[in-house]
């Protein structure tokens, strides 16, 4: 598959990829988008993050600036605690998590479709990074980012690097 243009990971890229008239015809995706895209018979997987590393990739990563992080330590701590709580809930009862998601979001998927996403290979729910270093190093080698990190801790703030991530 030759890419005319590669989009970023957003619901917009999912919509663009599934629209045959759109110029976007490829992008690097993660669950839930990868699961939803692969249901379309015109879409096929070219590359998988599992090919970069034997460590499964946690794809739900949040970003902020150093200035925001440093000036809002209470908010950062609360956000990480909330993410841990939400991930624990999902991991303990995926059906309840799927039902809650549908109630709150109003999304038109069925509970079974959401469970397919939650149970898909590569769907890992954790605020502790796993497998990020090989992906970011690949992005550096591919010229997507100018500087490649030497260790995974170079990518995160101390609240996260204190964990057993990768």
User: Is 72 found in the same domain as 16?
Assistant: no
| 112 lies in some domain | yes
Q: At what angle do helices 94-105 and 111-119 cross, to 10 degrees?
A: 120
Task: Tell me what pLDDT residue 152 has.
Answer: 92
Tens-place pLDDT, residues 58-80: 767 788 999 999 999 999 999 99
User: Is 154 found in the same domain as 74?
Assistant: yes
User: Is 123 found in the same domain as 83?
Assistant: yes
Percent of the chain with pLDDT over 90: 42
User: Is 144 found in the same domain as 105?
Assistant: yes
- Cβ contacts of residue 92 below 8 Å, gap of 6+? none
User: Is 107 found in the same domain as 78?
Assistant: yes
User: Is 78 found in the same domain as 107?
Assistant: yes
Q: How far apart are CA 24 and CA 93, in angstroms?
A: 36
| 140 lies in some domain | yes
What domain count does the chain have? 2
Domain of residue 137: give its range. 66-161
User: Is 140 found in the same domain as 71?
Assistant: yes
User: Is 85 found in the same domain as 26?
Assistant: no
| 61 lies in some domain | no
| 79 lies in some domain | yes
| 5 lies in some domain | no
Task: Tell me what pLDDT residue 52 has.
Answer: 64
| 115 lies in some domain | yes
CA-to-CA separations, 68 to 71, 81, 150, 153, 159, in angstroms, rounded:
5, 17, 24, 19, 14
Using alpha carbons, select from 26, 30, 34 the residue that is nearest to residue 2.
26
User: Is 101 found in the same domain as 20?
Assistant: no
User: Is 127 found in the same domain as 81?
Assistant: yes
| 54 lies in some domain | no
Q: How far apart are CA 48 and CA 28, in angstroms?
A: 8
Tens-place pLDDT, residues 121-130: 778 899 999 8
């Amino acid at each position: 598959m030759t890419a005319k243009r590669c989009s970023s990971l957003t619901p917009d890229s999912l919509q663009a990829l599934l629209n045959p008239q759109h110029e976007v015809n490829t992008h690097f995706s993660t669950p839930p988008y990868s699961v939803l895209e692969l249901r379309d018979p015109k879409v096929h997987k070219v590359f998988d993050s599992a090919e970069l590393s034997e460590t499964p990739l946690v794809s739900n990563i949040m970003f902020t600036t150093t200035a925001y992080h440093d000036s809002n330590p209470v908010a950062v701590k609360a956000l990480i605690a909330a993410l841990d709580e939400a991930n624990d809930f999902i991991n303990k009862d995926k059906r309840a998590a799927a039902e809650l998601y549908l109630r709150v979001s109003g999304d038109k998927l069925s509970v079974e479709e959401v469970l397919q996403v939650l149970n898909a290979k590569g769907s890992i729910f954790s605020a502790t990074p796993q497998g990020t270093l090989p992906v970011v190093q690949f992005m550096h080698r591919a010229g997507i980012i100018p500087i490649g990190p030497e260790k995974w801790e170079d990518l995160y703030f101390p609240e996260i690097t204190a964990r057993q991530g990768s």
